[in-house]
Structure 1
Amino acid sequence: MTFEDWTYVMYETMEVYPSSWMFYLFFIFLTAFAFLNMVMGRVLNVLDEEHQQALAEDEDHVDINDVMLELHELKATLARVESLLPNARSQ
């Protein structure tokens, strides 16, 4: 698929079949289009795999906002426990 010397074959064929250039032109464009689509498909497939892997890795990391929310909830719980301690000692 290097497209080397295809013009030589085309000109030899055109001596016998003058309109054979249409076949060669169609074949070259179709082959180049198919090859380009295969290459682009593979590139996009690899990019999609990398993107999915990056998303999976991001899910493993803890979000700072979630940590701050949990810390705030723990402080509120600790404050409630501390407020109950003097009541428990007096009983």
Structure 2
Amino acid sequence: MGEGNNYFYFYFFLFFFYFVFFFFFFFFILFYFFFFFASFLHTIRTRQEYIFKMINEVKKNRLCVLRANFSQFGFFFGKITSLMHSGA
């Protein structure tokens, strides 16, 4: 007993660490991208809700035509101009 070359532990740890690293890194990357895209969709939804809220404000207050600029780059400029036009 115990004679000869025994590679049991070598192959066992090779197999074990292969599966451990595969599952950990695979599921880590999978859940990372899942939560990234989920947060991206959540920002799209909240931005749509904000846009609809601003459109309802425009419909309520018809005196102020320029309420918000919905473009991506002119957002803060639109907020400044809406503040200027609202007389706040």
TM-score by length of 1: 0.49
1:62 counterpart SS class = helix
User: How far apart, in 1, do the equivalents of 2:11 and 2:50 lie?
Assistant: 59
Determine what percentage of the aligned residue pairs are the same residue.
14
- Superposition RMSD in Å: 2.4
TM-score by length of 2: 0.51
Corresponding residue number in structure 2 for 1:17: 10
Q: Which runs of 4+ in 1 moved over 3 A?
A: none
Structure ranking higher in helix proportion? 1
Q: How many residues align?
A: 52
What runs of 5+ residues in structure 1 fail to find an aligned partner?
Answer: 1-13, 67-91
Q: 2:24 aligns with which of 15, 27, 30?
A: 30
Q: 1:50 aligns with which of 44, 52, 60?
A: 44
CA displacement 1:16-75 (0-9 Å, x = unmatched): 712120111111011100000110011001001001100000112238xx7xxxxxxxxx
Corresponding residue number in structure 1 for 2:79: none
Query: Quick check: which has more Rg, 1 or 2?
Result: 1
